[in-house]
Amino acid sequence: MGVDKKVENLQKLSRTNLVMNFVKKNNGCWNHQAWLEFCAMLEEKGYAPIDFDQVGALLETKKAAYFAK
């Protein structure tokens, strides 16, 4: 059956700067509304279907890297 489209889209997203740019734009701290807008932007850019729980985990990883600098 091949790679799950959600997994494929998450991998595609992880190879971009979109997640880190979101973290930087929000200084590593965002509210639920900003999260919803980020999710909507991902859908508009063609990253759907995607597992938003995994997108959240990716955001947390990038946030940790942002604060480690």
d(CA 29, CA 45): 23
**DSSP of 10-59, one letter per residue?**
HHHHHTSSHHHHHHHHTTT---HHHHHHHHHHHHHTT--S--HHHHHHHH
pLDDT in tens, 22-61: 999 999 999 999 999 999 999 999 999 999 999 999 999 9
pLDDT at 5: 96
Confidence band, pLDDT 50/70/90 cuts, at residue 1: very low
What's the pTM value of the predicted model, to 2 decimals?
A: 0.91
Would you say residue 18 has pLDDT above 70? yes
Count the neighbouring beta carbons within 10 Å of the beta carbon of residue 22: 19
On the question of pLDDT at 8 being above 80, the answer is yes
For residue 69, is pLDDT > 90?
A: no
Full residue range of the structural domain in which residue 28 is found = 5-68
Are 63 and 24 in contact by the 8 Å Cβ rule? The answer is no
Domain tally for the chain? 1
